């Protein structure tokens, strides 16, 4: 009887039981940090690609041509986005645009809404020309900021086992607006 009492009151092996409870939670936390970090990395990468496309969209094709104010085409902007994505080892064929593409307010007061210009090639990037941008200029001054907006979405799939996030796909939105060089 004393041997049984000694075995029950002993703390030998309690570390193993505690480790069996704590280690799975610790590893799930580490896996979550990794996958959310990867999602943030992809989000910043696609925003960088959209920024490169918008930067190209604000420039003109030729300064000394007969029509110097001709803007870059949606195809050249899409190529710039594709190159930026490939440089970061992301698959540009997964880029999609919002269905249906939304309209944006025109830079021309009282003008029609600006529609998305889709390139003829992949990736499907929405380019809005002469769009009214949010501005820090007071509305009473009558000045509006005009520019180019580049928008697209990129899918990301979590691999987070034993949770509701496992194999769940989310769409990361990339949207950059840049003031035009008019």
Residue 90: the pLDDT is 93
Distance CA 160, CA 55 (A): 36
Residue 133, both tokens: 């941008």
Q: How confident is the model at residue 148 (pLDDT cuts 50, 70, 90)?
A: confident
Check residue 69 and give its pLDDT. 57
Please provide residue 85's backbone torsions phi and psi, each rounded to the nearest 5 degrees. -70, -40
pLDDT at residue 101, rounded to an integer: 74
Residue 48: pLDDT band (50, 70, 90) is: very high
pLDDT per position as a tens digit, 56-83: 888 876 666 655 556 778 888 899 999 9
What one-character DSSP code corresponds to residue 109?
Answer: T
Give which of 53, 151, 176 is closest to 95, Cα–Cα. Answer: 151
pLDDT of 52 over the 80 cut: yes
Task: Give pLDDT, residue 31.
Answer: 86
Burial call 75-107: b when 16+ CB within 10 Å, e when fewer:
ebbbbbbbebbeeeebebeebbbeeeeeebebb
What's the distance, CA 91 to chain centroid? 13
Tokens 């002993």 belong to 10
Statement: residue 139 has pLDDT above 70: no
Among 6-10, 125-129, 137-141, 153-157, the range scoring the smallest mean pLDDT is 137-141
């Amino acid at each position: 009887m004393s041997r049984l009492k000694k075995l029950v009151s002993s703390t030998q092996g309690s570390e193993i039981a505690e480790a069996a409870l704590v280690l799975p939670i610790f590893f799930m936390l580490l896996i979550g940090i990794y996958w959310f970090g990867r999602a943030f990395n992809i989000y910043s990468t696609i925003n960088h690609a959209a920024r490169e496309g918008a930067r190209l969209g604000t420039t003109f094709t030729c300064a000394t041509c007969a029509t110097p104010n001709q803007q870059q085409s949606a195809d050249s902007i899409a190529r710039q986005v594709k190159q930026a994505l490939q440089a970061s080892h992301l698959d540009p064929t997964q880029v999609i645009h919002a269905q249906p593409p939304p309209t944006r307010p025109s830079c021309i007061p009282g003008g029609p809404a600006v529609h998305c210009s889709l390139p003829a090639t992949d990736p499907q990037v929405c380019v809005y020309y002469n769009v009214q941008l949010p501005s820090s200029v007071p509305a009473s001054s009558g000045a509006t900021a005009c520019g180019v907006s580049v928008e697209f979405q990129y899918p990301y799939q979590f691999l987070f086992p034993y949770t509701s996030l496992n194999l769940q796909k989310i769409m990361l939105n990339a949207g950059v607006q840049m003031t035009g060089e008019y």
